[in-house]
Structure 1
């Protein structure tokens, strides 16, 4: 892929580029907790967005996307939300301008192998890769957490998805063979070794359902959680978000919340508790216990948070039938995308064959399956 991107860049712009690789991410557990100031346990993976990029001495930014062979341009003097994928790049440039940095025009070619709509956060990889590139080319001196904030705000203001910080954080802070516990309020984090990489593989099974509902429903879920906090603040005056409550406290005032808002709040508080338990089990090398928490997470996402779909539920159910699977759950915003499965390394082929066969019987399509590894975050190559 790097060679392809370089070749296309030379062909279009006839100069030498800087190369940036920017990974997708998995999230072992802790879904829809980030925008509730809770805890998440993500990692960067070996699926990547790749940039070839160089300054061009003008006020225009020219971008060629290899994934759809489309070239788009925008002026630094008039950046406003547009249509499609270019929004993610324009949003980054706009946020840098808002911080007072003098932007300069650039030429770039972008490609990658992160499946779109599969819940591996291709958008954060696009954002993170560009901010790393511009920081390098313009000598901005940005810290990694500030870069993550820029990517998050870019997504808020241009594509209009009110995402939490997890995806951008994981993209920029990834470390090979380690997952990261992130406190989404304080932004403090610590690494936990994923010491099972020889015995187990992280296998992502794509439902092949594009999560077209995810963006709009994501914002609905966020609003429901905020509504719950407003109601519960009457009984717990010091709370700022669901992060400040446990599941028992939510249950105590169930009758004060609408049924949907109660379910959302209960899920988030339970999920935060599961993240803490998962870290304790990782430290003790208790992968089976982590797996049980993953299955419980999926149940909550499906029944309480209602962001699953029949295809994802079916995939998670198939995983439960397999003794070689330690745990599985849907991953990402929901309504499609992938399940994440922890599968014994020597049984991966057998697992894939089973999943694809049974899923095809049920839904008439063969799911794509990705065997991934945990890798470093976005970087200059």
Structure 2
């Protein structure tokens, strides 16, 4: 295992263990998580692997095989920079919660496609969190590890994400999607056996990334919070009379509420269809989700729109952008005998516009975070 070899090379010793956490793709339920709503992600076969040993001197020594250079030593956690913030943020979050995490030597290796919106950051946080939980005997549940990872990203890195990404990485199961109530943190594994229904879920990685940290993501969240305050509810999850709510709002707030409320209904509808074994019937709900994200939440971009439209022209059962938006990936639900046609349709649409070809590959629900060695 190359992460173990790199650990030996960097620190002159064997790691105490090796842990892996996957990225995720969200089947449906976008921008609902921080509104107390419902999401339906699943863990993907790609992720982050961490070789880790504890330290007693408070230092965190880090190396990533995806970043050039030797290991970095962090003495003052607040001085962490770049990718190291996601790792050090987990150490910080656990210490803030009162856990006796003294330090660690950590080497990271990852194969989540970069810029695809498949949540490599959550995979990194959860892999490190799981390792520290076991090494220091913290006795945390998987959801508690996910919450510590979310706190690291929210309060240390400064990205106001919801709990979905970390929960999917920590709690995913092979062959199943994770239905998550982001208010109660209740979860349910939902069968999602594509092969049994002659289907595949294609990820279309546009290869573009319009930076979320420029404030667009945070602005959407602010829109939702201000709309909730105007409507007198804790979160948009509490809106039960959509028509009445929309009559009280205008502009961005009105559009955001329309998306969040209808998206929650779409998640519940997809869960119902999957539990009934009607996997091929969810396509129309994927299409509706994309239109809402494009027009009401305004987080799509030309590359995502073209990928979705071309997939549907190629006779995909349904398609939509996935993830936070402004780039990253789309997904398409495709019959086995239409995979090549859908791929060709998307590649042709990109070529006609002079864009670099996107990567297109299938994804199946994979196991969540676990110890490898």
TM band (smaller chain) = over 0.9
Deviation string for 1:241-295 (max 9, x for gaps)? 110114xx23324343231110000100000000011111112222333110000
Partner of 2:164: 166
Q: Secondary structure at the match of 2:324?
A: coil
Deviation string for 1:170-206 (max 9, x for gaps)? 0000000001111100111111101223422221111
RMSD (Å), alpha carbons: 1.5
Q: Secondary structure at the match of 2:57?
A: coil
Contact 1:29–1:275, Cα closer than 8 Å, also in 2: yes
Q: CA deviation at 1:349?
A: 3.7
Structure 1: state its 5+ residue gaps: 234-238
Q: Secondary structure at the match of 2:157?
A: coil
Distance in 1 between residues matched to 2:162 and 2:195, nearest whole Å: 28
Distance in 2 between residues matched to 1:20 and 1:281, nearest whole Å: 34
Partner of 2:229: 230
Partner of 1:344: 335
Partner of 2:72: 72
Distance in 2 between residues matched to 1:62 and 1:114, nearest whole Å: 23
Q: Secondary structure at the match of 1:365?
A: coil
1:163-312 paired onto structure 2 within 5 Å: 163-198=161-196, 199-213=198-212, 216-233=215-232, 239-246=233-240, 249-312=241-304
Partner of 1:319: 311
Structure 2: state its 5+ residue gaps: none
Deviation string for 1:55-95 (max 9, x for gaps)? 244321111111122332212xx321642111111110001
**TM-score, normalised by the number of residues in structure 2:** 0.95
> CA 1:363/1:261 → structure 2, altered by over 3 Å: closer, same or farther?
farther
Distance in 1 between residues matched to 2:112 and 2:257, nearest whole Å: 31
1:73-92 paired onto structure 2 within 5 Å: 73-75=73-75, 78-80=76-78, 82-92=80-90
Partner of 1:330: 321
Of 116-125 and 27-36, deviating more is: 116-125
Q: Secondary structure at the match of 1:47?
A: strand
Consecutive aligned runs of 4 or more in structure 1 exceeding 3 Å deviation: none
Q: Secondary structure at the match of 1:298?
A: helix
**TM-score, normalised by the number of residues in structure 1:** 0.93
Contact 1:214–1:335, Cα closer than 8 Å, also in 2: no
Deviation string for 1:320-343 (max 9, x for gaps)? 1122x2211000010000001112
Distance in 2 between residues matched to 1:347 and 1:73, nearest whole Å: 50
**Which of 341, 344, 353 is the equivalent residue of 1:362?**
353
Deviation string for 1:212-256 (max 9, x for gaps)? 1356211111110111111111xxxxx31110114xx23324343
**Which of 108, 112, 117 is the equivalent residue of 2:110?**
112
